[in-house]
Every structure is written in C-alpha cells, then in structure tokens.
C-alpha cells in the first residue's frame, strides 16, 4: 500500500505516469486519491500552448543569417512550463501540509464529528473546533470556540484548548463551553482536569466548574447524564441574562433588542431549541416582560 511518508517520490512518479499497473491500483485505493486526482484535473486545465523548441531555434538561426550584423543570441522561453510545474508543486504542498481539520456550526445547528481515534465530538450551535489530524496519535488536542460535548476514547492525554482555559482527560465524557468571558466545564463520566488562569480543578462525574468574567469561579454537583442541549433544550443555572439571550440568538438566528432590559440580572431556567415561539414565551414570561417578534422574523423587541 502507498505510504506517502516513506516514499517521497511516489507522487512525482504518479504525476509523470511512471507507476506500474499494480502500484496504480493500490494508489487508487488510498483515501486521499480523490483529492490528488482533483488537483491534477485542475492542473491539466491550465492553458499552456505547446512550444516547438526546434522550430524556434530554426527561426532564430534564419534571422541571424539574414541579419548577420546583429549579434542575436537565441532565447527560449521556458517559463510557462516552470510556472505550471511550480503551480502543481505549490498546490500539492498546500494540500499535504495543511493538516488541520476544522468544523463550524451555524444558527440552531448541531454537528457530530468522529475524531481520528474514534472519540466523538458534538458541536452546539455557533461553535467552531479544529485539530491536527496528522499528529493526532501524539497530540490529542482540540481547539474550541463555543460549546461541545466530548466522548473520549481512552489513550494519551486529550485536551480541549480554549481562550479561557484548557480541559484535559485520558478517557471520559464531558462538556465544555467557552465564549468571550464565559468558561464552563462539566464532567459526566470519568475525571477531567480544568485549568483556567490560576485555577486548577479536577472534576469527577456529576461535578461542574464555571468562571464568568472576573467573578470568582464556582463548582456544583448535578445528576444529568448528558448536556440538555443534546436533546434540543438549553438550560441555565444562575447565569447573567445576556448569556441566555445570546443562546436564543445562536439557536434561532435572531437579534434581541436589549436596550430596555437589565441583562445582568441572574437567570435560571430552560427553553427548547426547536420551537422559537415556545422559547421566547418561556424566557420572557419568566422575566415578566412583554415582547414582539417583528415581521422580519429576525428581531425581538420588548414592549413597554
């Protein structure tokens, strides 16, 4: 089987059509063959005119004989061929050395990703995660912006890196949420190590850690077996209201006019992620506020 790490000239031989039938058959079964083939198809589409070198030399010699008084040396323009070859090399280089896999979710979307070792990552709405697939065996690290639930296979240390802190485990199930000045880690199985600023905390199943802005961090216990958002329900436990509104906006692609609302008040409650009418009624009735969803279906305003 083709191994691009051991045979550095294999791609060159393939490009030049030098593979044996057996080698070509094996190469076509390689998981990256489709991508390589697309790159070559794009390279073949380059508009390069065939250059007749012998004809060019004869033309130059003819002109030199006709105008012997001019000391003209033949110049053969080979740059189109070098440019084409360089383009192919650059394209292959970008493809081969860009080893990061990135995943992004949109409004109200969830995405399940199977990681290289069989671990599972489920992204919540408006979240982004990436990892280095080529070095995964020695560096199981996922960069996260947003929220994700992880089911990690046992093995080397597995780390979720965020702007607010890191969560590391060997094999377990846990949830991480990180955005702006909000950082939360919740352990559902096994043990996780949480590092955020000066805090170093070990969580076991049924334990949670949270740090909001510059307030003191907090820990709590719970009985749930998985995050509620996996089942399309957003849940909040004593968080400032503006985080609740942001979750509503992320789930339903709306904008909430908050100029007449104190968004620093503390909120505890839930709302569904698959019914905007019920979600808005649930949150605003809890707050004792009247609201209106404008005809554009994208803006929520509070009525006085």
Q: Which fold has domain 100-231?
A: Jelly Rolls (2.60.120)
**More confident: 150 or 48:** 150
- Tens digits of per-residue pLDDT, 211-221? 998 888 999 99
pLDDT of residue 28: 64
pLDDT value of residue 22: 72
* Residue 83: φ, ψ to 5°: -65, -45
First to last CA, the chain: 71
Is residue 82 predicted with pLDDT exceeding 50?
Answer: no
The stretch 289-295 carries a mean pLDDT of 92
CATH T-level fold of 232-304: Phage tail protein beta-alpha-beta fold (3.55.50)
Structure tokens at 212: 């909001």
Distance CA 160, CA 162 (A): 7
What's the whole-number mean pLDDT along residues 275-284?
A: 96
Q: What residue segments make up the domains of the chain, in order of their start?
A: 100-231, 232-304
More confident position, 83 or 197 = 197
| Least confident residue range of 4-18, 76-90, 113-127, 210-224 | 76-90
Full strand arrangement of the beta sheet holding 299-303: 255-256, 299-303, 290-293
H helices within the chain, ranges in order? Answer: 10-15, 21-28, 33-44, 53-66, 79-97, 241-252, 276-287
| Residue 103: band (very low, low, confident or very high) from pLDDT cuts 50, 70, 90 | very high
Q: Tell whether the model's pLDDT for residue 189 goes beyond 90.
A: yes
pLDDT higher than 60, residue 92: no
CB atoms under 10 Å from CB of 6, counted, come to: 7
DSSP-based three-state secondary structure for 204 = strand
**Regarding predicted confidence, which is higher, 62 or 259?**
259
Mean pLDDT across 164-190? 96
Q: To which residue do tokens 């942001």 refer? A: 246
């Amino acid at each position: 089987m083709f191994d691009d790490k051991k045979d550095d000239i294999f791609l060159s031989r393939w490009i030049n059509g030098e593979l044996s039938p057996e080698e070509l058959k094996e190469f076509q079964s390689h998981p990256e063959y489709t991508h390589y083939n697309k790159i070559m198809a794009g390279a073949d589409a380059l508009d390069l005119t065939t250059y007749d070198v012998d004809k060019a030399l004869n033309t130059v010699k003819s002109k030199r004989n006709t105008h012997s008084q001019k000391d003209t040396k033949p110049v053969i323009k080979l740059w189109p061929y070098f440019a084409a070859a360089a383009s192919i090399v650059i394209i292959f280089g970008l493809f081969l050395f860009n080893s990061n896999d990135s995943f992004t979710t949109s409004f109200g979307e969830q995405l399940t990703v199977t990681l290289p070792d069989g671990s599972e990552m489920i992204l919540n709405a408006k979240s982004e995660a990436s990892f280095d697939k080529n070095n995964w065996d020695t560096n199981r690290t996922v960069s996260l912006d947003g929220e994700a639930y992880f089911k990690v296979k046992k093995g080397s240390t597995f780390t979720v890196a965020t702007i607010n802190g890191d969560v590391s485990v060997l094999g377990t199930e846990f949830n991480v949420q990180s955005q702006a000045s909000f950082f939360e880690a919740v352990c559902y199985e096994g043990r996780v190590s949480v590092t955020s600023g000066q805090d170093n905390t070990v969580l076991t199943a049924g334990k949670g850690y949270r740090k909001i802005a510059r307030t003191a961090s907090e820990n709590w216990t719970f009985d749930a077996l998985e995050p509620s958002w996996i089942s399309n329900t957003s849940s909040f436990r004593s968080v400032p209201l503006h985080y609740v509104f942001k979750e509503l906006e992320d789930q339903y692609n709306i904008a909430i006019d908050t100029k007449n609302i104190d968004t620093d008040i503390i909120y505890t409650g839930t709302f569904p992620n698959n019914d905007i009418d019920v979600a808005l009624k649930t949150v605003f009735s809890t707050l004792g506020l009247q609201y209106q969803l404008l005809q554009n279906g994208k803006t929520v305003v509070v009525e006085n």
